[in-house]
Amino acid sequence: MSERKQIRRALISVYEKSGLVELGKALADAGVEILSTGSTAKTLSAAGIAVIAVEDYTGFPEMMGGRVKTLHPRIHGGILADQENPDHIAAITSHEIAPFDLIVVNLYPFSQTIASTDDFAECIEQIDIGGPSMLRGAAKNHGSVAVISDPSQYARVHEAIKVGGFTREERTELAMETFRTTAEYDMTIATWLGERIDRSDDWRAKVWQRIAGLRYGENPHQVASVYGEPGSKGIAQAKQLHGKEMSFNNYTDADAALRSAFDHSEPCVAIIKHANPCGIAIASDITLAHQKAHACDPVSAFGGVVAANREVSAAMAKNLSEIFTEVVIAPSFEEAAIEILSKKPSIRLLTIDGYSIPREELRPISGGLLIQGSDLVDAHGDDPTNWKQVSGSPVDADLLADLTFAWRAARAVKSNAILLAHDGASVGVGMGQVNRVDSARLAVSRAGERSKGSVASSDAFFPFADGLQILIDAGVVAVVQPGGSVRDEEVIAAAQSAGIAMFFTGTRHFSHA
C-alpha cells in the first residue's frame, strides 16, 4: 500500500495560474511528459517548458469557445485506464492512447462569477464541464492516477517528485479532496439555479469545513468539533489573540453574546452566561456600556462571556481584568487592552471582522432540520413610531428610548422573557421560565430596588394580567409587549388602573433555544 507510483505523464488544465510555472518546471525537470490546454499551455510554453497541446494529441481542435477540448476518448481513456488491468492496457494500446499518472485541474470560478454579476449568460459560461469530468475520472481511478484539484496541493506534487511519486494512500486522500471539490461546485450551481426559478426551498445543501476538534462538548463525555462555513464571518471565523482553547460552551455563549451586542447600533456590551444575558447596556462609549451591563447582575457575570460591538478600550480592559471572564470578543482591542488582559493566562480574547447577524437559522432535529429566517430587530414592529400606546399618558423621549432599548434587548433572552431596563441598561432579567409570571418575579427579584422607575419589555403577550401586575407592584412605570392575547383588554385595564404607559408592538421576539 505504501509503494510509490512514479509520475511519467501529466495533464495540466487550470484556470487559476498561481504556482503553475513552478509546478511545470518541476515536472519537466523530472522528465515528465506534459499535455496541456489553451491558456495553460501558452503559460507553460512562454516559460520555456515543453508542452504537448491537447488538440495536437487528440487531432481534434477546441470548439465552441473552449466548451469542447478535453472531452475526447484519447484524454479520458488515458485518465480512466486501470493500469493494473491487462484488458484496460490492451484497449488503450490498440487505440494508441497513453495513460496518465497525474491530472492537475482547477475549475472555472463559478462562485466568484455569480457573486460579481447577474448576467445569466456569463454565469452559465463559468459552469465547467471538462474540468469536473477529468477530475472525477481521475479521482475514480486513483489506484492509477494522482489528481490535483487546487493550487494549495502543489506542494504535495513537488514533494512526490522528489521521493518517487505518490503512494496509494496519498492518491486516495487526493481523490477524496477532489470529490469534495466537485460536490461543492455542483452544489453551488444547483443552489444558484434553484434561486433563479423559485425552487430554493425544496432542496438545501451546505458545506462546513472542520476548523478544530474541541476537548469535549457540553459535557466531558460528548465528542465535539467546530466547523466553519466558507465565506462566512461569524464566531467560527473569529481570530483568537490570547488564552486557552475555546470550548463548545464558549462558542455557543460567544455566538449569543455577539448577536446581543450587534442588535444595537450604539456602543453596546452584552454579558452572556449559559446562552442568556446577565447584562446588556448601551452608552456613549464602550467602557461605560460595560460598566452598566456588569452592574445588572455582577454575581452571574462571574465566568461569563463578554461581547462588545466596538473596540475594547484600555479602560474597559482594566475593569474586565478584575472580573473572572471566560471570553471577550469584539471587532478589535486597543494594544493597551490586550496587554492588560493578557496578564490573565486563561481569558480568551477574540476579534471578529465584518460580523453581521446571520439571515437564517438552522436547527437540527431527529431525522431532519428546521430552517427559519433569523429573528432580526429591523422588522416593522421594532420601530417605536409604529407602536400603539394602549394605556397611560404620553411618554417623554428618555422613557421611549429606554422602552426601545428594552424591546431590542429582550430579543436576546430565552423565553419566557421579561427584561427591566433603565438608562439604556438592563437592571433585571427573567428568562427561560415555563410561565410569564415566574419570569416577571425573577426579573423583579434580580432588579431589587432598581425596579422602581424602570421600564419592562416582554417578548410575547401577557396571557393574563397577573404577570403585568407583578411588574406594576415593583414600580415599573412603562411596559412594551407585542399584544395579541384574547385577554388584552384585561391586561390594558390593569395598566390603566395603575396609570402606567403600555405599548403594543405587534411583533413577537419569542426564543425557545
Amino acid residing at 454: S
Give the active site residue among 25, 72, 88, 140.
140
CA 111/CA 172 separation, integer angstroms:
26
| CA dihedral sign, ordered 476, 482, 486, 492 | positive
Nearest to 129 by CA among 203, 194, 49, 186: 186
Spatial contact of 24 and 33, defined as CB atoms under 8 Å apart: no
3-state secondary structure of 483: coil
* 33: β partners: 9
CA 57/CA 98 separation, integer angstroms:
10
Could you write out the three-class secondary structure of 242-258? ECCCCCHHHHHHHHHHH
Give the active site residue among 233, 242, 274, 318.
274
State the Rg of the chain over Cα.
31
Spatial contact of 160 and 166, defined as CB atoms under 8 Å apart: yes
3-state secondary structure of 105: strand
CA 451/CA 428 separation, integer angstroms:
8
Spatial contact of 331 and 312, defined as CB atoms under 8 Å apart: no
Active-site residue flag, 140:
yes
Active-site residue flag, 274:
yes
26 to 159, 160, 277: CA distances (angstroms): 10, 11, 58
Residue in this structure with the C-alpha cell 517548458, named with its chain if needed: 49
CA 498/CA 485 separation, integer angstroms:
20
- Tell me how crowded residue 93 is: count the other CB atoms within 10 A of its CB: 12
CA 36/CA 27 separation, integer angstroms:
13
Nearest to 376 by CA among 264, 212, 274: 264
461 to 30, 302, 435: CA distances (angstroms): 75, 32, 11
Could you write out the three-class secondary structure of 308-329? ECCCECHHHHHHHCCCCEEEEE
Active site residues: 140, 274
